[in-house]
Structure 1
Amino acid sequence: MPLRRRFTAFVYLLMFGLLLPHVAHAQKKPASAKPAGSPALQSAIRAGQLPDMRWPNFSDYRVQIDNFYKASNYSLAWIEAGTPTDHARQMIAILSAADSQGLNAEDYDGLRWPDRISKLAAAHAPEDEDVFDLALTVSTMRYISDMHIGRINPTHFQFGLDVEHKKLDLPSFVRNMLSSPDDLTHTIAKVGPPFAGYEATRQAMLQYTQLAKQPDTEKLPLPVGVVYQGGYYDHMPALAKRLQQLGDLDPKVIILADAIKYDDPLMGGVAHFQSRHGLPNDGNLTSDTIDALNIPIADRLEQLKLALERYRWIRYQFTSPPVVVNVPEFKLFGYDGSGTQILSMGVNVGDAFDFQTPIFEGDIRYIVFRPYWYVTPTIQRDEMVPSVEEDRTYLEQNEMEVVDKDGKVIASGAISDAVLKHLKNGSYSIRQRPGADNALGLVKIIFPNSHNVYLHDTPEFKTMFSKAPRALSHGCIHLEKPADLAYWLLRDKTDWSLDKVKEAMQHGRDNSSVTLTKPVPILILYVTARAQTNGTVQFFKDIYGHDVELKAALAKGYPYP
């Protein structure tokens, strides 16, 4: 196997973007120490509380803030001769504009800085300088961390996304920043996600911020049944106005007040809207389409802000181009070494109620052609055993067999009472034999994880992929084009062609494994809004309620979980 190369000079854009360089923060020599600061400053740091702030409790940053001030003998960092420095004013401007990054300026005392500056301009006590300096340091560290790794740790939601590995050394970063002659705006801009998709989504958020200042158009009544081309809908002018407000219909289009016949150009506008919202884009006017059109712009704006938060959870560097699954979009994407998207396909994901697909990252390591399906203990207990109790030939009818813990086949026909007892207590398990009717189809793609989740083919894809939404599985991810993904993963093995992959699936050896030359990163993410680099903004249903949970956590303020 070739030696594993680490592409440490690159980051790969996740979810629809371009390759961008990761800019490392150079370490600069700290400025020389100033005279020792006041005991009041040290006391406030030890307490981890500053009542003057919007969020007074900074205990989660207390150690970092103490290390920052300790390096300069607790001298003030943002004030000289009783006056805020140029760096202080630059930083305050950045904090006050936090909303433009999808953050909340009030998390960083956005409205409090003018009064603090005015207080220092007049006769003031030394303690006022301590409060100003400490508040600005706390706000700065919070802002830098929030931009870099997000406000909420994804592990709070049991997501397997690790932000710990990319945390910045905040005391060093801020000291170096203040000792640099560079404008702080330029320095701070480097800490956010370096993905073109992130910036496109941020620009969309700014666009929807302006849209949200306009009143929403009138709510559209639901149609009676489905309105097809040539059908009738009594609210055509209102429909046109909404589509024009959202950018899906040319603003020059004029719909007469008494128009009721549904046809182009309105039908084309509806199809464009549907394509951006995860709906069948046939242009037919359905209840689902009207429901999506009626969602307030303010709610769409909130989705974009949540998407920016989730972008910050993603690692910024990868050993090789990743595979990305966006669960609410029901899509999988693959990228080449330049970061260009070269693979896209539909997926089915876990049922929203009982078998949600977990959100995590891992490494794809091998592919299994014509696999066995080893039934999970939960499915065996809750679904298979009751079916066997009802019909002792159920397993035989479905190409299944009973095996012991060593994989030895115990029964493949009618199930006896003794075998059923072992199935009930879990000492025996069930597997389905390889073949076209196997629940995993003809190939599965493995990235070892504690959830027992993997990518796989499905024998029912022709019907399953025609349904929307496609939250149908037991948690695994069903692939629309399994052969294409397997071939892409094996592309550096010159003896593997797409035809060979298809041959291995259809006629190859049962349960045959092929190890990848090197692991391929995979990210299973959950983003209900995103913008492409061409400006197209897309929204998807919050199928698992994760948006609701994230919004609630953010509403609580600091210290965030």
Structure 2
Amino acid sequence: MKSFLISFLFPICWFLFLVFPVDTKASNGKAEDKYKALTYQRIPSFPALAFDSTLIGPFFKKYAKLKYLRPEVLELYRKHEYNYLWYDNNGRNEFADLLFDKINNLDQEGLQIKVPYQEKIRSLFLEADSNENPELEVELLMSSLYFFYADRVFKGIERTKSEELGWYLPRKKQSYVNRLDSLLLDPSLINKPDKDLLGQYYLLKSALEDYRNIEKKGGWSPIVLPPKMKSLKPGDTAAVILQIRNRLFTSGDLKNDSKKNEYDKELLAGVLKYKQRNAFTPDPELQSKHIKDMNVPVQERIKTLMVNMERCRWLSPSLTKNEQYIVVNIPSFTLTYFKNGKPALISKVVVGKSLNKTVVFTGQMSQIIFSPYWNVPPSILRKEILPAISKNRNYLAKNDMEWVGNRVRQRPGELNALGKVKFVFPNSHTIFMHDTPAKSLFDREQRAFSHGCIRLEKPRELAIKVLEDDKNWPVEKIDEAMNREVEKTYNLKTKIPVYIGYFTSWVDREGEVHFYDDIYGHDERLLETLLTD
């Protein structure tokens, strides 16, 4: 997980010493009349011009779709003693114009949402004389639009909705009241990367722009593989190669389109790059599954980028500030162990199958268990072990299992389903990471086979990396503990954060955008929420 954070200007000190008065309640009916009378009143004196706080209530009655933003608007104006914020001596200030432009171009932020009262706002904002003197209606609209923009671009959908979509990683918490001070002081900050968004957000945003440019140019045409043609290999010649070459050139995997119908070295380089970006085994053979993937329309890739930009909004960059942490990305079937801000180990993983989805959440790795017992979960005991015992009385002995009370466990050893080492980060989902005797599964491109836990291709290497600064655990001792067939638990001196995430597109350190299959269907549900929210 990468974060390129840009320093954000702190609020200027005089803002911090303002006295916060208490909001005054409007009397029945009178405030509404007064509000109507003052809505378009021109007030020539400025700056330090205050307005009647009782007029905020009637404003939100008129603009009921923005009412949910009222608490933040009230907090803002209490802080600033109910003074106008969107006007200066020259009229409406620069940031108001920049924000209005941002609101009208939310698609650049990967959002396709309707702005409440957009046409009304446009008409008020673009009136010839509306930028000269403070107008209360425009003032409160701009503050509401600011919080609307911050909520959608910086925060994303509500926590309850993201949890309904199976996302249990911690959501960031921040106030956007103080941030407005900085933006009013330096409006250009609105066009710079924000410190509260992952650097990955801006990388995906750049990729979104690239793919939309491809879309504007017509995208790419479907490749039609001849019915009798099962695959293509270097040296082959065929008319369909012209289509493949053009497709890879359009997506940037080929630097140029030579128009040759031969599968030459130049095309091979483009094929390998495409496969690497799209989670395929990087071999030279082109099969029908690769062509099928190439035929995914650019519009679908754009949607994928949009939903992953949304996921970036939910995460705080502070998550990546730990000296060490582990990230598992479910769709890419990959674990990355970061140490001092750099990848110290990358390992393939096996995750839960669709009926036993691996949960998106975070935990703190606190233990390593060498030569572990496997305590068979009740559901597996009921659905798999007991039926197997009924068919074969020797099933337990054959699989080195034993009864312990009313439960079954598998002894440490070569047959153990957890392999030779287990990494524990306590959680309510009963998910952990472990070795596995089924090594052949790591050769597959799609690796969703477990009951929810995470199987590691490189468990020994992870144990060595985690314990490399612990003098009590040299490599020889780790190997001995993994092969003694006697369970041994070690409590880590420093807990390591583990983040299990779900990203179906990601931009790497070289700027290449990767796409992964939506194995659990999370993208589709999130996209539906984004388009209807």
Q: Secondary structure at the match of 1:323?
A: strand
- Kept after mapping to 2: 8 A contact 1:78/1:84: yes
One-letter amino acid matched to 1:449: N
> 1:379/1:158 Cα in 2 relative to 1: closer, same or farther (>3 Å)?
same
The count of corresponding residues between Structure 1 and Structure 2 is 497
Please state if 1:227 is matched with 2:232: yes
Equivalent residues in 2 for 1:156-555, closer than 5 Å = 156-163=164-171, 166-174=172-180, 176-177=181-182, 181-185=185-189, 189-195=193-199, 197-222=200-225, 224-231=229-236, 233-255=238-260, 259=261, 262-317=263-318, 318-337=321-340, 339-352=341-354, 354-404=355-405, 428-461=406-439, 463-507=440-484, 510-555=486-531
What CA deviation, in whole Å up to 9, does each residue of 1:107-130 have, x standing for no partner?
A: 48777655322226269999xx33
Q: Secondary structure at the match of 1:486?
A: helix
- Kept after mapping to 2: 8 A contact 1:278/1:540: yes
Partners in 2 of 1:73 and 1:88 — Cα distance? Answer: 20
> 1:311/1:125 Cα in 2 relative to 1: closer, same or farther (>3 Å)?
closer
How far is the alpha carbon of 1:202 from its aligned partner?
A: 2.4
One-letter amino acid matched to 1:465: F
Partners in 1 of 2:375 and 2:137 — Cα distance? Answer: 62
2:44 — aligned with what? none
- Kept after mapping to 2: 8 A contact 1:148/1:191: no
- Kept after mapping to 2: 8 A contact 1:144/1:188: no
In the alignment, structure 1 segments of 5+ residues that lack a partner are 1-13, 51-55, 405-427
2:36 — aligned with what? none
1:41 — aligned with what? 56
Q: Secondary structure at the match of 1:368?
A: strand
Partners in 2 of 1:148 and 1:282 — Cα distance? Answer: 40
How far is the alpha carbon of 1:21 from its aligned partner?
A: 7.1
One-letter amino acid matched to 1:517: K
Choose the corresponding residue for 1:142, options 141, 144, 148. 148
Q: Secondary structure at the match of 1:279?
A: coil
- Kept after mapping to 2: 8 A contact 1:243/1:273: yes
Q: Secondary structure at the match of 1:449?
A: coil
- Kept after mapping to 2: 8 A contact 1:37/1:73: no
Partners in 1 of 2:10 and 2:500 — Cα distance? Answer: 29
- Kept after mapping to 1: 8 A contact 2:4/2:198: no
In the alignment, structure 2 segments of 5+ residues that lack a partner are 20-47
Q: If the length of structure 1 is used for normalisation, what is the TM-score?
A: 0.81
One-letter amino acid matched to 2:177: P
Instruction: Supply the RMSD in Å over aligned alpha carbons.
Output: 2.8
Partners in 1 of 2:133 and 2:255 — Cα distance? Answer: 61
1:53 — aligned with what? none
What CA deviation, in whole Å up to 9, does each residue of 1:372-394 have, x standing for no partner?
A: 11111111111112112222221
What CA deviation, in whole Å up to 9, does each residue of 1:31-73 have, x standing for no partner?
A: 686423374432233x4x61xxxxx623432222222234445
> 1:267/1:181 Cα in 2 relative to 1: closer, same or farther (>3 Å)?
closer
How far is the alpha carbon of 1:369 from its aligned partner?
A: 0.4
Structure with more relative contact order (C-alpha pairs < 8 Å, separation 6 or more): 1
Partners in 2 of 1:437 and 1:155 — Cα distance? Answer: 37
One-letter amino acid matched to 2:338: Y
> 1:536/1:72 Cα in 2 relative to 1: closer, same or farther (>3 Å)?
closer
